[in-house]
Amino acid sequence: MSSQPRSSGSRTAAPAAGIAAGRLPPEAIAANFADIAPRLTPHEAMVAADRCYFCHDAPCITACPTSIDIPLFIREIATEQPLAAARTILSQNILGGMCARVCPTETLCEEACVREAAEGKPVEIGRLQRFATDAMMARPGHPFSRAAATGKRVAVVGAGPAGLACAHRLAMLGHEVAVFDARPRPGGLNEFGIAAYKAPEGFAQAELDWLLGIGGITIRQGVALGRDVKLAALRKSYDAVFLGMGLGGVNALEVRGRKKAGLRAAVDFIAELRQAEDLSALPVGRRVVVIGGGMTAIDAAVQSKYLGAEEVTIVYRRAQARMSASRHEQEHATDAGVRILCNAVPLRLKGNGAVSAVEFARVIETPDGLMDSGETFTLAADQVFTAIGQSLGKLPKTLATERGKIRVEGPGRTSVPGVWAGGDCAAGGDDLTVTAVAEGRDAAMDIHRALC
């Protein structure tokens, strides 16, 4: 890739000086936000599937958080049975279409691929998964049917990957499921928190509508746990409760000047971008600084560049190897023209009312933590995005917590009888869509065993 964007969120109030819309013509923005990895053609899929060794003890299966039988579904593609391949995938991961688009396969199944070890070029498992699931979703109907009604009712809090996976599996097992979600639209992370070029053309909602085709699931939007409904009330009204509401809060940037206009949480910017009907109308800074080292930081930075920001810099407090964003995503960012600076922490935001620059201190990583090197530098910036972690917020006191998340045991059992949890709100797992799906699915199976 070249060092430029492919083809070439602001506050609710008026944007700060230097933040403007229309930095690129609409056609350039449309090209930048086109599908980053278009689906394989049938011929391309056959060629890609032919590279698989169909290992008996396949390490790729072990590396997949949802334990999809990868050699089996690739063999089914190789024998021209993409719908059978899709059933193999979806029986383990009902959100296999989105996971094929956003899962960091380069550090999971594809990194474990025998071809990767032997040749440095793995089988394209993610793209083959997309090929199969897209074929299934293009057909009318739903591949799974519901079991006989059990008469049991389960409440699911959160319509993100964990909640939807849990709800679908429970519905398939014959339970009635009510999903409560705080946002105006369902989908959670898939709808609001993923870069637009990874899931264009409304795929998140299309997959959700397809998932609901199983029946037995109702969704209530604008209902938040604690604000609109209490856990105690859900336990009284339903036979079981699953908590999968993700992380709703963001960690604040505690530096001088943090009240200046132009500072914003990266997750809010990404959410606004994902819901925008006209990307060319979205304001973006000329010089953007993103503070953080995870996927949210990468997505905010790349999309700022794709909207027309001239200079975009990610600043991370530790060494680049310690960034939680995968190396593949880091390289994608630098290919898009994003600069990555490491071993630096913000000291203050400069400017008269609105941000004009950020002062940083260079730090040294020691066994005792980060140590100030005594050196500082300043980056010009009219827009600053923070991506320094998210928080769960206030929880019912009856729920035991661990490191700020809900403590769980086994397949998502919480300290409260009849209540399970999974996804980003639960302690112990990776903050990945595919991990959330696995935890929601496994909790559903445990709930079913408890109820039946």
pLDDT tens-digit series, residues 92-129: 999 999 999 999 999 999 999 999 999 999 999 999 99
pLDDT score for 430: 81
- Sign, CA dihedral 306-307-312-315, equals negative
Rounded to an integer, the average pLDDT of 229-238 is 98
What stretch of H or E contains 282? none
pLDDT score for 15: 59
**Is residue 12 predicted with pLDDT exceeding 50?**
no
pLDDT score for 2: 33
pLDDT score for 273: 97
**Is residue 33 predicted with pLDDT exceeding 70?**
yes
pLDDT score for 146: 98
pLDDT classification of 390: cutoffs 50, 70, 90: very high
Percent of the chain's residues with pLDDT above 90: 93
pLDDT score for 16: 64
- Return mean pLDDT, the chain: 94
- Say which residues have a Cβ less than 8 Å from residue 418's Cβ, sequence separation at least 6: 235, 239, 240, 241, 450
Tokens of 238: 């339903």
pLDDT score for 277: 94
pLDDT score for 429: 76
Alpha helices in 54-148 (DSSP H): 59-63, 70-78, 82-90, 96-102, 109-112, 114-119, 125-137
Range with the lowest mean pLDDT among 7-11, 30-34, 105-109, 130-134?
7-11
Tokens of 162: 């964990």
**Is residue 58 predicted with pLDDT exceeding 50?**
yes
Tens of pLDDT, residue by residue over 407-416, are 999 999 999 9
Rounded to an integer, the average pLDDT of 374-383 is 97
Q: Hunting for tokens 């905010």 — which residue is that? A: 300
Asked whether 157 and 241 are in contact (CB, 8 A), the reply is: yes
Tokens of 350: 């400069």
Return the number of other C-beta atoms located less than 10 Å from residue 417's C-beta.
Answer: 10
- Say which residues have a Cβ less than 8 Å from residue 98's Cβ, sequence separation at least 6: 161, 190, 199, 203, 204, 207, 433
pLDDT score for 4: 38
What's the half-sphere exposure (Cβ side, CA atoms, 13 Å) at 195? Answer: 28
- Sign, CA dihedral 126-128-134-139, equals negative
* Domains delineated in the chain: 19-29+250-386 (3.50.50.60), 42-137 (1.10.1060.10), 153-248+392-451 (3.50.50.60)
Tokens of 406: 């809900």
Tens of pLDDT, residue by residue over 152-188, are 999 999 999 999 999 999 999 999 999 999 999 999 9
Q: SS3 letters for 357-412?
A: EEEEEEEEEECCEEEEEEEEEEEECCEEEECCCEECCCCCCCCCEECCEECCECCC
pLDDT score for 1: 32
Rounded to an integer, the average pLDDT of 233-261 is 95
Question: The pTM is what?
Answer: 0.93
pLDDT score for 17: 64
Distances (CA, A) of 259 to 11, 178, 286: 13, 40, 20
Distances (CA, A) of 250 to 203, 253, 264, 267: 26, 9, 10, 8
In a 10 Å sphere around its CB, with 0-12 CB exposed, 13-18 middle and 19+ buried, how is residue 140 labelled? exposed
**Is residue 382 predicted with pLDDT exceeding 60?**
yes
**Is residue 423 predicted with pLDDT exceeding 50?**
yes
- For 141, phi then psi, to 5°, come to 90, -175
Cα first-last separation, the chain: 54
